Each structure stands twice: as structure tokens, then as C-alpha cells.
Amino acid sequence: MNATDRTPADLLRSALAADPARPLVTFYDDATGERVELSVATFANWVAKTANLLQDDLAAEPGDRLALLLPAHWQTAVWLLACSSVGVVAEVDGDPGAAGLVVAGPDRLDEARACSGERVALALRPLGGRFPQPPEGFADYAVEVPGQGDRFAPYAPVDPTAPALSVGGLELTGAQLVGRARADAAGHGLGSGSRLLSGLSYGTWEGLSAGLFAPLAADASVVLCRNADRLSAEGLAARQESERVTVTAL
């Protein structure tokens, strides 16, 4: 963690410089049995590709607002950091009718059609798979992102004092987000090498912090569990042990 980091994208750059090979996000979906582990380098590559898609193909600019209609998922985490990289305001569960862009999962496509701007759909299939049949009126993220560049440079510097995230009625600038994430990391007792298991929704700041931002701010990692309510107590204990979890947020 670098004391000069003032945006989530800054935090990711510092993590990449410090130890690109360490795990950053380990994702479970307990409805499907999926498990994906992304190192800092792999996660940062997805973020760079997604940021290039946002900036170039979708013509997003700093200050644009993107309605993010996705669950707690590793690809949602990628979109949050891509928005920060470009300077786009990520509105978690935002109103697609009032947003310039929308990114939606397979169960929220009808809702997302209210957006008159660019629309991107995610199948949320294992290994980032595409839709069997592309949804009409949407770009399929899994089709569009692989060909994007592996390095990203914003056309305009991202202002850390500009709005960066809106969730649950709370709007934060990049600098405020980083400050809160650092405070939450301290509250959880996170440090380098810590492993936080989160089963919280991404629909609140608490869920976003535990499920991404606080571990990122502390050189820690997150075990992000979707549908964790399907786990038995024994299953949770086994996961905590196998993933070397040091902190749990459910």
C-alpha cells in the first residue's frame, strides 16, 4: 500500500508493483460450484482490457455514469476498478434510465434496456464464458473484451476529488473511497497476507469494502463467496481452513 494512492486504480497499480503473483480475488459461486482464483497480475490484466473497452469502444469519459447491475462476482470487481481507471462513476444498482452506460448480468437485462446509451451484458458463466445466444441490444462482454489491449492509459488524468462510486445512497470520490477502505481494513485487522472471506452483497458499501476495496487497500486478498447462504456450517469451516482465511464477513 502506497500512502500517495488516492484512487482505487492507484491501489491496484501499487499492488501490481509490489507483488503481481500473489492472489487478490478468489471467487466461489456456491450455486454452481465454480471457483476462480485471480492473481494481482491476472486481475489487473482484466481491468486494463475492460478499461480499454470502456474508453475506446464505448467512448466513456471521466464523469460519465455507469449503472452496474451485477452481483458480488469477480467480474463485477473488475468493472469497478475499470471505471476507476477511466474516471467513470460506477453506480451500483443504479437507475439505467438515468445513466449513460449500463452493464448488466443475465437476470437484469430487461431492466437494463431502459438505458439509452451503451449497453453491455455479462453472462456470468464459469471462466468468463459468453452467452450461447447474444442478447439483442447488448454487447457481449465475453466477446468484446479479449481483443482489448493489455495495457491501459487514460486519455485524461483521473481526478481523485471527483465522484467515483455510488452505492446505497452513498456517493464517494476516489480519495474518499480509498480513505474509507483503509479505515475499514484497519477495523478488520487486515494486513499484508490477510485473507478476508466475504459473503456480503455488493449492494452496500460494507459489502463492496469487505469484498474488494478493504483487502486491496491493505495488500490483503479476498475470498468472495456468492450464494454463501447455501454453505453449511461445516462447509464454511472447511473453506475457511482450505483458503487460510483470517477474517470473515457474512
Domain boundaries along the sequence of the chain: 8-249
Question: In angstroms, rounded to a whole number, what is the distance separating the alpha carbons of residues 121 and 43?
Answer: 19
* Edge-to-edge strand list for the sheet holding 221-226: 34-39, 23-29, 221-226, 195-198, 247-249
Query: Do 211 and 222 meet the contact criterion of CB atoms below 8 Å apart?
Result: yes
Look at strands 101-104 and 65-69 and give their pairing: parallel
What residue has cell string 463467496?
A: 225
pTM for the structure as a whole? 0.98
> Would you state the pLDDT for residue 127?
86
**Per CATH, which fold does 8-249 belong to?**
Rossmann fold (3.40.50)
Question: In angstroms, rounded to a whole number, what is the distance separating the alpha carbons of residues 10 and 1?
Answer: 9
Question: In angstroms, rounded to a whole number, what is the distance separating the alpha carbons of residues 93 and 12?
Answer: 23
Query: Which residues in the chain land under pLDDT 70?
Result: 1
Query: Do 68 and 76 meet the contact criterion of CB atoms below 8 Å apart?
Result: yes
> Would you state the pLDDT for residue 3?
75
> Would you state the pLDDT for residue 92?
98
> Would you state the pLDDT for residue 158?
96
What residue has cell string 466475504?
A: 198
Instruction: State the cell numbers at 209.
Output: 469494502
In angstroms, the Cα distances linking 103 to 20, 115, 135 are: 28, 10, 13
Q: Which residues contact 167 (CB under 8 A, 6 or more apart)?
A: 91, 92, 93, 202, 203, 204, 205, 208
Question: In angstroms, rounded to a whole number, what is the distance separating the alpha carbons of residues 189 and 246?
Answer: 9
Beta-strand ranges (E) seen in 50-194 are 65-69, 89-92, 101-104, 118-121, 139-140, 163-167, 170-173
> Would you state the pLDDT for residue 1?
61
> Would you state the pLDDT for residue 212?
98
